[in-house]
């Protein structure tokens, strides 16, 4: 009897080791099978893991699975194209994959593209419906994503500091008693922090309050969602005008300009009322830590829709004032589509941790997940700050193991670090 049990245990263990693996990298490009043109913002979903990814503007994708099963299936989809499903086992991690999607044979009605609005199109009513649809569809329950953040600044056209991090964006859900803008945050995990130049340190209004700007984009977004264009209570304060229409992969896009005081911009809305992108100028919604106040900014917010639910896929923000230029970027890497929850103590710990995290940096893990630098100006940053790229890497290593703002850790720090370390298993 014991021999049979032992044999069964060996077989089960061997079977598990054959299929359950640790860490697998996938990279490639999604293209049209006929034209070979890239398909930007195509969807990639691993159903068994309930994780979604999006290709970039060039149809490229790259992501890492911390755990995977060779029986997992990756599904590629794009509106107007047939879906393609591939087992992870058929997708080698060391190969640049080309994913060919076939256009669906559909009969499209003739569409007239016009630069001016037709008599029957009412942009105010259309945008009111689009914003109402966004608020109906958006996810109110907690959710989490693997994400990337970056911030940098120039003074007198010279780079003075640079930070970037791989971590997690977490929406806490509507928590009673919490400030609405504090419910969507970025938590650093693997972080590269430079040593700020003296010009940047001199600019800081209060160095003890100048927290890391990892959550600046998400805070801007929440302000835009609660007090701006995406708010049903605020939509009536905006003026709208239809600028143009165009077809993109079989989708009719309405390009609508908006204004509210000095804030102006353009919103891109599909005929099914899905808001896909917002471009903005002079929007006084960016909380700039260096000045400890909200300042005007320009940039854009992109959305991707998984199962009809809008998720933020990218935010780019730019602020300029006198001799200062500041950039902040948020980019979605992987969105968890299934359920996610945190205990009250965990939420409290994370709430006290995001603005002043313990900086940790693992070069090997960074290279595995990012590959080539996502910052195209990395050499210029090193040069302007008086170091070359190698020494800038040394700064990243040197600044690890410290709190971003020198201080004594509070009682929440140990718990917060454990929570963040455990989040990796979700992806």
* Structural domain includes residue 107: no
* Structural domain includes residue 106: no
> Residues 281, 165: one domain?
yes
How many distinct structural domains can be found in the chain? 2
pLDDT score, position 208:
65
Look at residues 356, 15, 322 and name the one whose alpha carbon lies nearest to residue 193. 356
> Residues 173, 310: one domain?
yes
pLDDT score, position 16:
38
> Residues 196, 322: one domain?
yes
The model's pTM: 0.88
> Residues 91, 135: one domain?
no
pLDDT beneath 70: ranges in the chain:
1-22, 106-119, 176-177, 205-209, 249, 372
pLDDT score, position 3:
42
> Residues 62, 169: one domain?
no
Q: Which two tokens stand for residue 345?
A: 């103590």
pLDDT score, position 15:
41
> Residues 38, 154: one domain?
no
> Residues 296, 207: one domain?
yes
Q: Which domain holds residue 264?
A: 127-426
pLDDT score, position 376:
81
> Residues 58, 137: one domain?
no
């Amino acid at each position: 009897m014991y021999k049979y049990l032992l044999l069964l245990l060996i077989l089960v263990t061997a079977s598990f080791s054959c299929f359950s693996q640790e860490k697998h990298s996938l990279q490639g490009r999604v293209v049209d099978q006929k034209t070979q043109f890239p398909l930007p913002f195509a969807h990639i979903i691993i159903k068994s893991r309930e994780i979604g990814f999006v290709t970039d503007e060039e149809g490229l994708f790259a992501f890492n699975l911390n755990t995977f099963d060779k029986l997992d299936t990756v599904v590629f989809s794009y509106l107007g194209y047939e879906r393609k499903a591939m087992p992870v086992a058929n997708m080698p991690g060391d190969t640049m994959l080309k994913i060919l999607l076939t256009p669906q044979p559909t009969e499209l009605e003739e569409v007239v593209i016009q630069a001016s609005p037709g008599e029957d199109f009412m942009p105010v009513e259309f945008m009111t419906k689009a914003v109402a649809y966004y608020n109906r569809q958006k996810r109110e329950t907690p959710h989490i994503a693997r994400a990337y953040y970056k911030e940098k600044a120039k003074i007198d056209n010279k780079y003075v500091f640079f930070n970037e991090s791989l971590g997690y964006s977490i929406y806490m859900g509507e928590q009673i008693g919490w400030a609405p803008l504090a419910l969507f945050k970025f938590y650093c995990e693997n972080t590269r922090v430079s040593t700020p130049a003296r010009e940047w340190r001199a600019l800081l209004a209060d160095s003890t309050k100048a927290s890391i700007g990892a959550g600046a984009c998400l805070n801007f977004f929440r302000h835009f969602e609660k007090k701006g264009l995406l708010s049903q209570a605020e939509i009536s304060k905006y003026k709208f005008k239809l600028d143009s229409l165009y077809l993109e992969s079989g989708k009719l896009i309405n390009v609508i300009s908006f204004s509210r005081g000095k804030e102006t911009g353009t919103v891109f809305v599909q005929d099914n009322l899905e808001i896909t992108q917002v471009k903005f100028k002079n929007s006084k919604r960016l909380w700039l830590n260096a000045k400890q106040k909200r300042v005007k900014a320009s940039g854009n917010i992109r959305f991707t829709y998984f199962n009809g639910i809008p998720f933020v896929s990218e935010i780019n923000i730019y602020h300029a004032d006198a001799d200062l230029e500041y950039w902040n970027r948020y980019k979605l890497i992987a969105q968890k589509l299934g359920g996610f929850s945190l205990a009250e103590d965990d939420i409290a710990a994370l709430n006290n941790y995001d603005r002043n995290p313990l900086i940790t940096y693992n070069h090997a893990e960074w290279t595995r997940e990012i590959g080539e630098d996502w910052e195209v100006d990395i050499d210029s940053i090193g040069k302007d700050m008086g170091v070359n790229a190698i020494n800038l890497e040394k700064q990243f290593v040197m600044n690890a193991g410290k709190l971003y703002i020198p201080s004594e850790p509070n009682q929440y720090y140990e718990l917060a670090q454990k929570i963040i370390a455990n989040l990796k298993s979700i992806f």
